[in-house]
Each structure stands twice: as C-alpha cells, then as structure tokens.
Chains A and B, each alone.
Chain A
Amino acid sequence: MFSTIDSPGARFIRIYLIDTVNGYEYAVSTPRELALESLKLRTFPLCNNFREFAFKVNNGNWLALSDESPVSLYLKTQSNNDQVILDDNLEVGADNEEAPIIVMVPDVSLYPNVPSLAFDTTRIELWTYTFDPANYQLQGHIIKTLSVNRSTSFMKNQPECAE
C-alpha cells in the first residue's frame, strides 16, 4: 500500500463479445454480478481466474438495451410496453434511436421483447497503467488476455492465456 502504482485498483478489465460470423465485436462493461470475480482477477491475474471469469461472461444473458436507466430497464420488463403513459403524461416508446447498451441480465425472461445478443467468443483483457512523469501521460498496458469460445466447456477445455 502506498508504494507502487500497480495495485488491483490500478488494473482494469476489458470485455469483448465477438460475433465472428457477422464480424461484430462489442466492448461491454463488467457486469455488477461479476464484481467479486473481477476483483479476484485483478488481484490474481492467474489463467484459472481468467477462465472462470470468461466462462461466467459466456454463460451470462447478454441483451442490447436502448439505454440502461432504471426507467428504461423497468419498461423493458413489461410485456406490452409499446406505449407506456407516465404520471406526467410523458410518452415513452419502446423504440428509440440511441445506440444500444449491452448489459448482462440475471434473468432473460424479464425482458420478453428483447432478443439475446448473438456472439460466439469472449475476449477478456486485463490491463494496467503506468505513469510517465516526464509528459504526465497515463499509458495502458495489457497484462494478459484470454479468448474463449462460447461452446467451450469450463471443465473439459483449458484455453491458455496470452501475455
């Protein structure tokens, strides 16, 4: 503590959901449900912790929502939410033109109108940063990375991390 910049707090995870068939790659936020696993991975960047994290990401229910506000998430749980009238007579439509935010949800059945995100591979990158006191620049560096196919079983296959 108070001796080096490199600490679990200075490490960060980047998650990519990849649809290799259509050539899409989605950068997504770390789900709240994986906060503990994220902390464990940032503290101990062991390959096994990468695998555990990647398999949890792969097995999650990922949806592309129009936005992540509590109101929007609530509205998406309603089965007939094409037009919902709020107290102040403000009309909220299910469709809007904002860029989708991809989130992992605990229960996909709560979002009957939202199709699951199609992806077949997850890439997890663990990063850290170094500070250059000469030009005050904070430079990100990848510590380790792991790509796991969604069809891979956690117990049977042990994909290796790359440094």
Chain B
Amino acid sequence: MIQKNFIQLIEWNNDDTIFHIVLTTTIILVLLYSSNNQPLEISILVIVILGLLNQQLIRNAKYWFVLSIILIVGNFSLWYVIDNHIYLICIWCIGIFLSLQTFNPQENLKISARFLIGLTFLFAVIQKFTSIDFINNSFFHFTLLSDPRFSELTNLLGNLPMVEMQQNEIALEALTHSSSMLMSVQLISTRNVHLLAIAITWWTLFIESLVTLAFLSPTKTIINKWRNYFLLTFVLTTYFFAEVVGFAWILIIMGLAQLRESERYLSIYFIIALFLIQLFRLV
C-alpha cells in the first residue's frame, strides 16, 4: 500500500521520466566508468557535457550512435584488459541507440535491459559453476585473505587481525615480484575466514542463480515478479564489499530501465541504490 502510494505522491514517476533518468544516468556512468584511456576520456567528457546541457540531445539516436562508436573505438586498443562492465556499458549504449530507432523506445529498451541483465548473470553463473577453485571455496578464501577491499570483513567476521592481513599482502607481493626467487609463500588464516568463504561462495551462487532465473523466465511466472527484489539484494549485498561501482551502476540503471508500468513504484529504490553504492565507498 505504502509502495503504491509513491505513484500518486511522486509526479515524476512515469514511464517517460524514468526513461529520461535512465538516459541521463547512463551518460554520467559513461563519463565516470567507461574508460581508463585518456584521449577517450576527453571525447567522452565533451559529448557527455553536450548531452547534459541539451537534454533533447540524449533522446536522439544519432547522439547514442556517436557515443557508442567513441566507446568502441576508444576501448578497442585495450580490449583484452578492460573491465567486464565496460563491455556491458558499450552494449547498453548500443541498445539505447537501437531502441531510439524504434517507434516505442521505452518498451524496447525494457526488453533489452531485462535480457541483458539475465544473460549477464547467466554467463556469470556458468563461469562460477565451472570454476573448480570457486566451487571448492578457495577463490573466496584467498580473496578474503589477500584483497584489501575485503580486509574489514575478514577482520570483523573472520577474526583475522589487520596486521596479519597486511602480512598476507606482503607475502603475495614477495611471491609475485618479478625479481623474486620464491616458489611459495605462507598466508595466515583462521577457521572463521574459511567458514566465511564458504558462506560468501554459496550466497553468491544462490543469489546470482535467482537473478538469472527471474530475469530469463517468462513474464507471468512468480519468480519473474520477484526479479527486482533479487537484483537489488544482489547489488546491495555484493557491492557493499566489492567496490566495482561501474558494474553496480550499470546493473542498477538497467534494472531501472526494465521496470514495468505496475512496478514503477520500485524506481525510487533503484535511484536510492545508485546513491548508496557511492556512499558505500566512503564507509
């Protein structure tokens, strides 16, 4: 009831405004997280400023065509090292360009967004289920011990002192340094870290599988109706620890874009999630 009152309370919450928010947040996403290549960043900055100054421009298919081409050409030279989410951002921009060529851009973008989310998670789940070191928990065990982004979690729930986390980082650096002669190094762990790794591994598989099933199942199924909650749960539980803001944002923006008319009241949660992800970085 409270949720449905949003529709009446918030005037901007209509299909066209949500579409506009999706386009605007996408160009901000492109500006912030689509490249590490300096010449490309300058071109992107120019085109994004133009789009922000002239809001009609971002509803023009040609604008998205130019932006897509700049992203593809600019990232091409480093295609083998760029982050996964940069690929997704490029595909999403192409999706916007294609949808703006149609008679009903909003509806077509909803379909693209739903399938892009579903397929992204499907490939992620396949990769995780076929990776031996993920299934046997050693990937997350190692990540908890060596990745500084997880150090507070490892310290808090894994009961591993920060000093020992730092020793693990030093050990890893000693092994991987190019003039090193070491064959192996000893990391420090606890039983709690081992249990935490098991919990995170199976939670990740569970929530990613749910998102995959929910987004790729037919629209009238019960699981499909729960897809937005699954996606928001995934985003908030994952990116609170893993600071991959670009990936979190593209998922949230696509999540916002695929909301049906009857689900518009959820748009506020997606918008809050966009801000929360930035706040998580400060925590």
A14-B179, A131-B138, A136-B186 given; A4·B84 CB < 8 A? no
Which chain B residues lie closer than 8 Å to A140 at the CB level?
Answer: 175, 182-184
Q: Which one of B44-52, B89-97, B124-132 contacts A?
A: B124-132
Partner of B134, one of A4, A14, A137: A4
Inter-chain contact A136/B189, CB cutoff 8 Å: yes
A4 and B178: CB pair below 8 A? no
Interchain CB contact under 8 A, A8 and B81: yes
Q: For window 110-152 of chain B, which residues contact chain A by CB distance below 8 Å?
A: 124, 127-128, 131, 133-134, 136-139, 141-143, 145
Instruction: Indicate if A113 sits at the interface (CB-CB under 8 A).
Output: no
Pairwise interchain contact A136-B178, C-beta atoms closer than 8 A: no
Contact with A along B160-202 (1 / 0, CB 8 A): 0000000000011001111111111111110000100100000
The answer to whether B178 and A30 have CB atoms under 8 Å apart is yes
A55 within 8 A of B: no
**Which residue of the partner chain A has the closest CB to B145?**
A136
Asked whether A94 is an interface residue with its Cβ less than 8 Å from the other chain, the reply is: no
Q: Is the CB of B81 within 8 A of A14?
A: no
Name the contact of B194 in the complex, choosing from A6, A14, A27, A133 (C-beta under 8 A).
A133
A109 at the interface (CB under 8 A from B): no
Which residues in B have their C-beta under 8 angstroms from that of A4? 127, 131, 133-134, 139
Residues of A within 8 A of B139 (CB): 2-5
Measuring CB to CB, which residues of chain B are less than 8 angstroms from any residue of chain A?
A: 80-81, 83-84, 124, 127-128, 131, 133-134, 136-139, 141-143, 145, 171-172, 175-189, 194, 197, 204, 242, 244
Chain A interface (Cβ within 8 Å of chain B)?
1-6, 8, 12-15, 27-30, 39-40, 43-44, 127, 129-133, 135-140
